[in-house]
Amino acid sequence: MKRKFVTNLILLLFLNLLIKPFWIFGIDRTVQNMVGDETYGLYFALFNFSMLLNILLDVGITNFNNRNIAQHNFLLPKHLSHIISLKFLLAIVYAVFTFGVAAIIGYNKVQFHLLFFLVFNQFLISFTLYLRSNISALHLFRTDSLISVLDRSLMIIICSLLLFTNVFNIEFTINWFVYAQTIAYAITALITMTIVLQKSGRIQIQFNPAFFMVFLRKSYPYALLILLMSFYNRIDSVMLERLLPHPLGKEQAGIYAQAFRLLDAVSMFGVLFAGLLLPIFSKMLKQKEHVGQMVKLSFTLLIVPAIILSISSIYYSGEIMDALYTSDTGEYADILGILMTGFIGIATTYIFGTLLTANGSLKQLNIMAFTGMVINLILNIVLIPRYQAFGSAYASLVTQLFTGGVQLILAVKIFRLQINFRFIFQLLIFVGVVLAIGTFSKNIGHWFTGYLTMILASVVFAVLIKLFNLRDLYKIIRYE
């Protein structure tokens, strides 16, 4: 299992490092620089609003299906026949609720137009993720890895033509940015569906209310968990745009988006870990295998980069923001360091939250997520009117560290994981040394040279103190 995890993780990281950073920094960032913070802030707030209720598209189906099919492969044709029709019904429910809430909070025609396509995009994303859950549950990780970058690859091609050429002879607007996403997501969904049908054989789409009720009864705890986590992960920009007066709200949401873009970029690595670990943990738990070593390996591989990226972002927040954006970021550069520190909590969640999900510990996870949502909402309501985007950043930091810590404690308690004090001591020493390296690196001439020096020196130190044991990783890949 460790060999399968590490080798497929390497492939996933390679593909995503090849494609997604170019999308985020080459396309998405360029769009914000071109249309301005206020216009992009409106899009960013609407995008996050469309995500708040997108659990209605899935109601926990994807996570439950991944765990279930990983343990019972033979159920794929039967479940696929029923769930596809269920997904379309849920799409209608999601659209009705989302547009209803949008009308209540007072969105105008322009906002509704963008929201319509963003809602459709959320359906395409959700449908593709469900289809991919079947592929990963069958442990076809290489196929899933290629699909994971297909939508972004298509978006890069389409948006590059729109942004950097005159092929279509149109003036680029935020609307075209959304349309390009719709086309890419639709093509990806069709290709993924074709692959799944090849594995399942011929299916007959069935509308079976009895099956729907039984399946939803099993999956709703997953749905509640995702809904609660979506709120405390995505509501910040929506509250900025709604709580602050026009046009300050849109502008502050755009400023928040600048820093959040980098957090979103590094968080994708956590998503990759979780996508691989959920079926692996599920199968190991079913076979009553001890998960301790797999947990330590995956946590180490994610928490060490999280510490390096978080601390380096604090030291170089101003330089990074100035290099990426054309608008004046000086006053708000520290938001990046605040948000990126929260990545330590996010990384912890992706490992221990995935383990708890694979175990079916949904009651504990939902209590944790509900508490996190309440904390986040209260902090945003209190801090946004006074501190604006900074307020949302601090709310996010507190919430991520709290929820990550609670999940770690739950996992240790439920699985009776042995506390490795030597490993904890290594991490604390590592944090101290990375801080020292960061201080030293600021004295190096050009900031980018100092930044790279800090990253590389931190990685080398992690290897020297055997947080990253290259020999063991090689043995896992080569022999196990």
CA 242 from chain center: how many Å?
24
Read off the pLDDT of residues 272-327 as tens digits, 9 standing for 90 and up: 778 778 778 887 888 888 888 888 888 888 899 999 999 999 999 999 988 888 77
- C-alpha span between 463 and 304 (Å, rounded): 10
Residues whose CB falls within 8 Å of the CB of residue 100, separated by 6 or more in sequence, listed in order: none
Q: Kindly tell me if the per-residue pLDDT of 77 is higher than 90.
A: no
Label residues 425-464 b or e (16+ Cβ within 10 Å = b). ebbeebeebbeebbeebeeeeebeebbeebbebbbebbee
- C-alpha span between 59 and 44 (Å, rounded): 24
Give first-to-last CA distance, the chain, whole Å: 8
pLDDT at 5: 63
pLDDT at 295: 87
Binned at pLDDT 50, 70 and 90, residue 479 comes out as very low
Read off the pLDDT of residues 89-130 as tens digits, 9 standing for 90 and up: 889 999 999 999 999 988 888 899 999 999 999 999 988 988
pLDDT at 471: 64
Binned at pLDDT 50, 70 and 90, residue 328 comes out as low
The reported pTM is 0.73
Name the helix (H) or strand (E) containing 463.
helix 447-464
- Candidates 389, 378, 390; CA nearest to 253 is 389
Q: Kindly tell me if the per-residue pLDDT of 227 is higher than 70.
A: yes
3-state secondary structure 238-275: HHHHHHCCCCHHHHHHHHHHHHHHHHHHHHHHHHHHHH
Q: What is the mean pLDDT of residues 355-362?
A: 88
Read off the pLDDT of residues 403-436 as tens digits, 9 standing for 90 and up: 999 999 999 999 888 888 889 999 999 999 999 9
Binned at pLDDT 50, 70 and 90, residue 480 comes out as very low
Q: Kindly tell me if the per-residue pLDDT of 362 is higher than 80.
A: yes
- C-alpha span between 361 and 79 (Å, rounded): 23
- Candidates 446, 434, 436, 447; CA nearest to 321 is 447
Q: At what angle do helices 209-243 and 362-387 cross, to 10 degrees?
A: 20
pLDDT at 476: 46
- Check if the beta carbon of residue 51 is closer than 8 Å to that of residue 119: no
CA 305 from chain center: how many Å?
16
Q: Kindly tell me if the per-residue pLDDT of 156 is higher than 60.
A: yes
What does the mean pLDDT of the chain come to? 85
**In degrees to the nearest 10, what's the CA dihedral of 201, 204, 209, 214?**
-10
Q: Kindly tell me if the per-residue pLDDT of 86 is higher than 50.
A: yes
Q: What is the mean pLDDT of residues 380-396?
A: 93
Two structure tokens written together for 129: 């993720």
In a 13 Å sphere around the CA of 422, the CA atoms on its Cβ side amount to 5
Residues whose CB falls within 8 Å of the CB of residue 413, separated by 6 or more in sequence, listed in order: none
Binned at pLDDT 50, 70 and 90, residue 371 comes out as very high
Q: At what angle do helices 248-286 and 292-315 cross, to 10 degrees?
A: 160
